[in-house]
């Protein structure tokens, strides 16, 4: 039996945000930056790669370090971080990795003969006169490169536009020649930043950062993080460097904007910046994005959701879930780790209920949820239940109370699991019949103390 696929799709001790997914051969590869489990700034790690068979998206393989941050001549001492990268296949069939270091405004390039081998530094994107892009008078600083290669030309998309900064005008698109480094057409603006969006159709969802580009049929899809940060949006055009029109929101890492099961503006999890892109795998389309953990913006984990691209090219916003790449709900039986929760919310988030892990970065310890207090709910979407008669929670910490069980965030309480203080992980169970069929599961804590939640289980 194939492994089920979860969100996050990688192990809970791995922190790969800014995911750029690609199918090469019979595997899907994800390239991203590399946070630490208790990072103090963004992107402290070397670039690593993970891949999975296209027909088994729960079975991810660690490909190892593909590019140490000291490989760049500007960073031999490792004082700078590797920000979000992207990869494209050049005219010569080799794989080119584009990235920006955190304290410079130029685009670096590395190259490899295979998708996940050892990349070697190749050079800097530059004008024909040798001056690097980002350093010529009038250039805007380069940031978050996204790339697509068509024939002999590569289109490079970059940019960062903070509120109040009129020196940053929007996302830029630059054309590179067949050597993958030399600028053959200077940058032009393809999506406006928030200081220049009036009258463009991008108002309220202006370009902020995280440009990514895909082509579907004859249409270019420009995916980006908007000025509200928690959402990934898209714009479309028939041309790679002009005519982009705002399309909508694809995903929010707080499920903001999703209605139906809740009010549209209700925030269902800790929100923060977002970065990702879309990919087709075995005839289905997915959006890759990231979530925040450890009570910080500096420990982000990759997630993914199936999307639908309608006949007219639109992409409706999708919910964040626990089942992501699974192709359907998780089996509603057995035990599941609590870190799969896609929703953590409550009226009082002052103690910052969050997903965390024990140990140091790199320790392969499963995550859990901490900071739970009275009124905090933990939600999983979705399970397919059949004949479930009991619910078990695995907890530790000082506590006296109960976890109230629901199948919707504001639905009726179906039962409660009473818990008491435990010095080690301890299981507590109660008879809680769950309706057969596909539904969410919510556990709302009521009581004193602050339990930590490791897992939830279902019994027949």
Q: What is the pLDDT of residue 455?
A: 98
Residue 8 lies in a domain: no
Q: Are residues 216 and 135 in the same domain?
A: yes
Work out the percent of the chain whose per-residue pLDDT is above 90. Answer: 97
Q: Are residues 306 and 364 in the same domain?
A: no
Residue 13 lies in a domain: no
Residue 317 lies in a domain: yes
Sort 161 into a burial class: Cβ within 10 Å, 0-12 / 13-18 / 19+.
buried
**pTM exceeds 0.95, yes or no:** yes
Distance CA 357, CA 365 (A): 6
For 168-208, write each residue's pLDDT tens digit: 999 999 999 999 999 999 999 999 999 999 999 999 999 99
Residue 9 lies in a domain: no
Residue pair 97/149 in contact by the 8 Å Cβ criterion? no
Residue 315 lies in a domain: yes
Q: Which of 283, 301, 326 is the last residue of a domain?
A: 326
For 7-57, write each residue's pLDDT tens digit: 999 999 999 999 999 999 999 999 999 999 999 999 999 999 999 999 999
Q: Are residues 369 and 312 in the same domain?
A: no
Residue pair 397/360 in contact by the 8 Å Cβ criterion? no
For 84-137, write each residue's pLDDT tens digit: 999 999 999 999 999 999 999 999 999 999 999 999 999 999 999 999 999 999
Residue 5 lies in a domain: no
Q: Are residues 275 and 403 in the same domain?
A: no
Residue 262 lies in a domain: yes
For 357-396, write each residue's pLDDT tens digit: 999 999 999 999 999 999 999 999 999 999 999 999 999 9
Residue pair 289/274 in contact by the 8 Å Cβ criterion? yes
Of 358, 325, 314, nearest to 339 by C-alpha is 358
Q: Which of 300, 326, 352 is the last residue of a domain?
A: 326
Q: Are residues 357 and 248 in the same domain?
A: no
Dihedral sign, Cα of residue 13, residue 17, residue 21, residue 24: negative
Q: Are residues 300 and 344 in the same domain?
A: no
Phi and psi for 71 in degrees, rounded to 5?
-70, -25
For 202-249, write each residue's pLDDT tens digit: 999 999 999 999 999 999 999 999 999 999 999 999 999 999 999 999
CATH code of residue 55: 2.115.10.20
Q: Are residues 47 and 106 in the same domain?
A: yes
92 is annotated as an active-site residue: no
Match 């800790």 to its residue by tokens.
270
User: Within 10 Å of residue 55's Cβ, how many Cβ atoms?
Assistant: 11
Catalytic-role residue among 35, 86, 140, 209: 209
| Residue 225 parent element (H or E) | strand 219-226
Q: Are residues 381 and 301 in the same domain?
A: no
Q: Are residues 147 and 242 in the same domain?
A: yes
Q: Are residues 363 and 277 in the same domain?
A: no
Of 110, 87, 94, 70, nearest to 28 by C-alpha is 87
**Domains: count for the chain:** 2
Confidence of residue 2 (pLDDT cuts 50, 70, 90): confident
Domain that holds residue 187: 20-326
Q: What is the pLDDT of residue 352?
A: 76
Q: What is the pLDDT of residue 124?
A: 98
**Mean pLDDT to the nearest integer, 420-448:** 98
Q: Which of 326, 342, 373 is the last residue of a domain?
A: 326
**Rg of the chain taking only CA atoms, in angstroms:** 23
312 is annotated as an active-site residue: no
CATH code of residue 416: 2.60.120.260
Q: Are residues 307 and 244 in the same domain?
A: yes
Q: What is the pLDDT of residue 246?
A: 98
Catalytic-role residue among 14, 18, 86, 206: 18
Residue 11 lies in a domain: no
Q: Are residues 272 and 188 in the same domain?
A: yes
């Amino acid at each position: 039996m194939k492994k089920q696929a979860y969100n996050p799709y990688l192990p809970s001790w791995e922190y790969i945000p800014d995911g750029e997914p690609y199918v090469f051969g019979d595997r899907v590869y994800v390239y991203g930056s590399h946070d630490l489990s208790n990072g103090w700034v963004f992107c402290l790690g070397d670039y690593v790669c993970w891949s999975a068979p296209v027909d088994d998206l729960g079975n991810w393989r660690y490909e190892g370090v593909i590019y140490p941050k000291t490989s760049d001549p500007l960073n031999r001492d490792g004082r700078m971080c590797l920000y979000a990268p992207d990869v494209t296949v050049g005219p010569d069939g080799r794989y080119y990795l584009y990235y920006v270091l955190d304290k410079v405004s130029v685009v670096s390039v590395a190259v490899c003969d295979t998708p996940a081998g050892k990349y070697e530094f190749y050079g800097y994107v530059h004008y024909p006169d040798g001056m690097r892009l980002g350093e010529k008078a009038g250039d805007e600083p380069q940031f978050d490169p996204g790339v697509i290669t068509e024939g002999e030309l590569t289109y490079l998309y970059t940019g960062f536009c903070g509120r109040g900064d009129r020196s940053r005008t929007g996302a830029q698109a630059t054309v590179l020649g067949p050597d993958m480094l030399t600028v053959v057409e200077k940058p032009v603006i393809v999506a406006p930043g928030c200081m220049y969006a009036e009258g463009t159709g991008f108002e309220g969802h202006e370009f902020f950062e995280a440009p990514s580009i895909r082509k579907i049929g004859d249409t270019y899809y420009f995916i980006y993080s908007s000025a509200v940060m928690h959402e990934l949006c898209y714009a479309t055009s028939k041309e790679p460097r002009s005519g982009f029109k705002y399309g909508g929101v694809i995903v929010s890492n707080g499920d903001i904007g999703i209605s139906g099961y809740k009010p549209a503006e209700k925030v269902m999890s800790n929100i923060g910046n977002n970065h990702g892109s879309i990919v087709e795998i075995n005839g289905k389309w997915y959006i890759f994005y990231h979530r925040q953990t450890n009570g910080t913006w500096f420990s982000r984990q990759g997630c993914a959701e199936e999307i639908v691209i309608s006949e007219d090219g639109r992409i409706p916003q999708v919910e964040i879930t626990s089942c992501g790449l699974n192709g359907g709900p998780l089996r509603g039986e057995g035990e599941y780790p609590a870190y799969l929760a896609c929703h953590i919310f409550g009226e009082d988030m002052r103690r910052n209920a969050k997903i965390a892990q024990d140990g140091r970065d790199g320790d392969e310890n499963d995550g859990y949820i901490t900071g739970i207090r009275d009124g905090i709910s933990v939600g999983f979407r979705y399970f397919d239940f059949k004949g479930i008669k009991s619910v078990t929670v695995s907890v530790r910490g000082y506590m006296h109370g109960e976890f109230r069980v629901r199948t919707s965030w504001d639905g009726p309480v179906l039962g409660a699991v009473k818990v008491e203080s435990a010095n080690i992980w301890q299981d507590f169970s109660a008879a809680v019949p769950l309706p057969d069929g596909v539904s969410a599961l919510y556990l709302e804590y009521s009581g004193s103390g602050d339990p930590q939640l490791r897992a939830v289980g279902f019994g027949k």
